[in-house]
Amino acid sequence: MDSAGEALLRVSGLAYDYAGVSAVSNCSLELRRGKIAALIGGNGAGKSTSVKMIAGALRSRSGSIMLDGREIGGLPAHKVVELGVALVPEGRLVFQHLTVRENLILSGHVRRAREKCSQSLERVFELFPRLKERQTQFAGSLSGGEQQMLAIGRGLMTMPRLLILDEPSLGLSPILVGQIFELVRKLNAEGISVLLVEQNVHHTLAIADYAYVLEKGRVVQEGEGRRLLNDPKVKEAYLGLV
């Protein structure tokens, strides 16, 4: 387990354009080892683009991405995974025509996790008993909530030290939303550092050690999660409170 306190991830000045239009202009954030950091903001704020750059799915046109003191900006996604970063993307991207078990085992075959694939599989089934029950079913036959469990399980199969969750509660029932956030707490308590991207601001700030507010591709506010939860500007903009 990594010791808490030091910066595991340090991002500075990321920028990205879609077809000449700026999506992210100056994103900077830090995640301390063993902590939960959150990135919140409305639709189109640049949250998903930012974490895709961190995970290597997109290449930033400027800035720096440091993981444990090593520059990883510009590395392809599979190299970033091998360094211990797992992105669970928005939209529950799973292999629809593979079984639950096949989806998980495929993710567990990255080099850093291959030797412990069996143990990781049992751990995922322990966290998600429903997936164990449905392990021989095709992923495409699962409910939305079950597919989200599978997507998170696939991320965990890579044995990450940094787990990036992009909108994990999107489209889920209130009961499942609560379960997802409780799971995030549990994984973090086991030593996994978490970067959480969410529009469910109340739940997110309640569990985040630190949070960043993103607007138009740049961080406009930051602070401890609980403090931002009680901040008048955040309440008005994201919680519908004044």
Q: Quick one: 74 and 192 in the same domain?
A: yes
Half-sphere exposure of 151 (CA within 13 A, CB side): 25
Q: Are residues 191 and 151 part of one domain?
A: no
State residue 242's pLDDT score.
Answer: 35
Q: How far is CA 158 from the centre of its chain?
A: 14
214 neighbors 39 (Cβ within 8 angstroms): yes
64 and 181 belong to one structural domain: yes
Q: What is the pLDDT along the chain (242 residues), one digit of tens a residue?
A: 344 458 999 999 999 999 889 999 999 999 999 999 999 998 889 999 999 999 999 999 999 999 999 999 999 999 999 999 999 999 878 999 999 999 999 999 888 888 889 999 999 999 999 999 999 999 999 999 999 999 999 999 999 999 999 999 998 999 999 999 999 999 999 999 999 999 899 999 999 999 999 999 999 999 999 999 999 989 888 876 43
Q: Are residues 155 and 166 in the same domain?
A: no
Instruction: Sheet containing 162-166: give its strands across.
Output: 70-71, 62-67, 7-18, 21-32, 218-224, 210-215, 36-40, 193-198, 162-166, 85-88
Q: Which of 143, 159, 175 is the last residue of a domain?
A: 159
CA atoms within 13 A on the CB side of 83: 21
In this prediction, residue 238 carries a pLDDT of 82
Same domain, 188 and 68: yes
Q: Copy the structure tokens of residue 4.
A: 């808490």
**Total domain count for the chain?**
2
The pLDDT, as a whole number, for residue 20 is 86
Looking at the structure, do residues 63 and 95 belong to the same domain, yes or no?
Answer: no
Measured at the CA of 63, the angle between CA 60 and CA 69, to 5 degrees, comes to 110
CATH number of the domain that residue 52 is part of: 3.40.50.300
Identify whether residues 155 and 168 lie together within a single domain. Answer: no
Same domain, yes or no, for 40 and 151? no
Domain boundary among 159, 194, 212: 159
DSSP symbol at 99: B
Instruction: Give the domain-ending residue among 110, 125, 159.
Output: 159
The two three-digit tokens of residue 117, written as one number: 């694939």
21 and 78 inside one domain: yes
Asked if 38 and 134 sit in the same domain, the reply is no
Question: Do 67 and 112 fall into the same domain?
Answer: no
Query: Measured between alpha carbons, how far is 47 from 59 in angstroms, rounded to an integer?
Result: 15
3-state secondary structure of 163: strand
| Cβ within 8 Å of residue 100, ≥6 positions away | 131, 134, 135, 136, 137, 139, 142, 150
pLDDT value at residue 65 = 98
The residue segments making up the domain with residue 142 are 91-159
pLDDT for 73 equals 96
**What is the widest separation between alpha-carbon atoms in the chain?**
53
Q: Are residues 7 and 35 in the same domain?
A: yes
Q: How far, in Å, CA of 6 to CA of 69, rounded? A: 10
57 touches 216 (CB < 8 A): no
